[in-house]
Each structure stands twice: as structure tokens, then as C-alpha cells.
A and B are shown apart, each in its own frame.
Chain A
Amino acid sequence: MVVLFHSSPEELLSTTTERMVDMFGHVITQKALLKIIDKSGPDLHVIRCRSEYLGEVLCALTLIGTEHLAVVLDISGTLRSLRTRAMVKKMSLRLP
């Protein structure tokens, strides 16, 4: 999925994991296999998770907290189409 997040990919991964553990526990969080795949511009991040736990990951990203805010812009089953669409979204948002 493509996520708009105003910080580093490591920060995105750690805050999402933290919130997910808080909401669903360590077992679900480990099973979800959250991973940073790519960075498309300074604020657009591509992250991957197991499709069975997509709902839990989306909930954690939506409720990530008030300090850092993450907006899920796109979801796809393949990285190729996600990268192409991320470029279009980047242009629409006029991000550097």
C-alpha cells in the first residue's frame, strides 16, 4: 500500500507496529509481516503486509496517533501497479 507519512520509513514502521501491538497484540502483528518496500518521494512510502491482516494494518495506520499521521492513498496486490499509481498520485498531490 502507498502511505503518505511526514517522517522516515523507519518511523512509519515503528509507530505502525507499536499501534498494531497496542490494538491487536504481538501475535497478529508478527503474522502481518509489515515491511517497508520503497520510498516514492519524501513523504510517500510503499509498505507491504500479508493480505489476511490487511484490515488490522489499515486500522492501525488510521489510528496511528496524533503525533504522526498516516494517510493510506492506495492498495494493490502487485508492487508494479502500485508503483505506477503512486507516481500518478504523487503528481496529483504535487509532491516534490
Chain B
Amino acid sequence: MRVVQPVLRFKDLLGLKSIGIEYGTGSTDSIDGEENVIHLLKSKPSASTKFRYLVISENYHDLVSKDVDLVEITAIDQQFYEMLKRSSSKKLGIEIAVSWLRKTNGQKLAKNIALIKSIHNFTEKYGNQLVLTSGASSIFEMVSGRCFDALLELCDIKPETYWNSLNNWLEHKIGMRCYICDT
């Protein structure tokens, strides 16, 4: 997201507690200390940081990479499930973006809804975490908390269970890192 401050203002209006922002795409210095912002990095930083972060990848072959926390999924084959089984000990996040779902028509969308349900069941079984995101590049693409709940219900996922497990997963991923504190 190019301009960060309107996004933060919009986040509160949409009833969202925390948001992930791609690092280095705007004026990020001012939000380094923001507790409710998680920076999304393409690679792991070499030293400790002031900000909370997750390492993301758009290539699901990176599931086996030890540095990646979150992998975005746009296409799936049998190999994906095999790799997910093998990476179960790392508690990986499997990201599905709403922006990707928007691009699909009714029939394809129905398949993708079934896919989300299947990934959710699979991640639950093997200790990973489904992460449903807006995939927004502007505030007009952001999704409110209530709409996320509606989408989860459409995928037969209980919103309360999902948010609780996502919260635990985030605490685990972010809490296990060392950060620099301003004193």
C-alpha cells in the first residue's frame, strides 16, 4: 500500500485489529512502532528489527524453506498437499487473498470456495494455518471484519474458531522473534 496513514485510519473503521503491510511500499518509518501493524517482508532481515514482521512468499514451492512464514496460494495441485504435509512442523501460514477470489466467475469461485474449505481442513490436520487476506493494493479493496466472517461462513469455517487460531498462530510466529526496543 502506497500511503500508509489513510490505511491505518480505515483499518479502525472496518473493525480490524491488526493489518499486514508490505514493507518498503510507502512511508513506513512512521509506523515502525505501531503495535497493530505487521510488516510483510520478501526475505528475512539479517539483523533484529524495531517492527514486527512476517516473511512472505508467492511461490508455494517455498513451503520447504525454513525462513518463510506465509505462502500465498493462487493455484494448487497434488504436489502442494504433499509439500504441506512435509512442512507441518513449521506451522506455516497458507494465504488466500480475496482480491484473487474477486477475479473469478461463479463456477470458478465455487471451486475456489471448496478449495479454501479443503485447505482449512488440511491445515488444521497438519498444524498449519489458513490466512484469509484482502490482498488489497488500495483502501477501496480492503475487507471489513464482518465481511471476512461472511466469507468464512460461506466456506463452512466457524469465524470464532478461525480468528482464535489465527491469533494464536500470529502470537507464535511474531512472539518467537527478537526485536529492538526504544528505551
Q: Is B a genuine binding partner of A?
A: yes
User: A63-B109, A66-B103, A89-B13 are known contacts. Are A71 and B142 too (CB-CB below 8 A)?
Assistant: yes
Is B106 a contact of A23 with CB atoms below 8 Å? yes
Is A62 a contact of B147 with CB atoms below 8 Å? yes
Is B140 a contact of A4 with CB atoms below 8 Å? yes
CA distance A58 to B151 in the complex (A): 8
Which of B101-134 touch A at CB < 8 Å? Answer: 101-103, 105-106, 109-110
Beyond the given pairs A22-B105, A58-B151, A69-B140, 16 more chain A to chain B contacts, judged by CB atoms under 8 angstroms and listed by A's residue number, are: A6-B140, A22-B109, A56-B150, A58-B146, A58-B147, A58-B150, A62-B147, A62-B151, A63-B98, A63-B151, A64-B102, A65-B102, A66-B102, A69-B141, A71-B139, A72-B147
How extensive is the interface on chain B, given as a class? 20 to 34
- Tell whether B144 is near chain A: CB-to-CB under 8 Å: yes
- 30 A-B pairs within 8 Å (CB atoms) are namely A4-B140, A22-B105, A22-B106, A22-B109, A23-B110, A55-B150, A58-B147, A58-B150, A59-B147, A59-B150, A59-B154, A62-B143, A62-B150, A63-B109, A63-B151, A66-B99, A66-B102, A69-B140, A71-B14, A71-B142, A72-B144, A72-B146, A72-B147, A73-B13, A73-B14, A75-B146, A89-B13, A92-B13, A93-B9, A93-B13
Q: Give the number of residues in A that approach B within 8 Å (Cβ atoms).
A: 23
CA distance A73 to B142 in the complex (A): 10
CA distance A59 to B14 in the complex (A): 15
- Tell whether A46 is near chain B: CB-to-CB under 8 Å: no
- Tell whether A61 is near chain B: CB-to-CB under 8 Å: yes
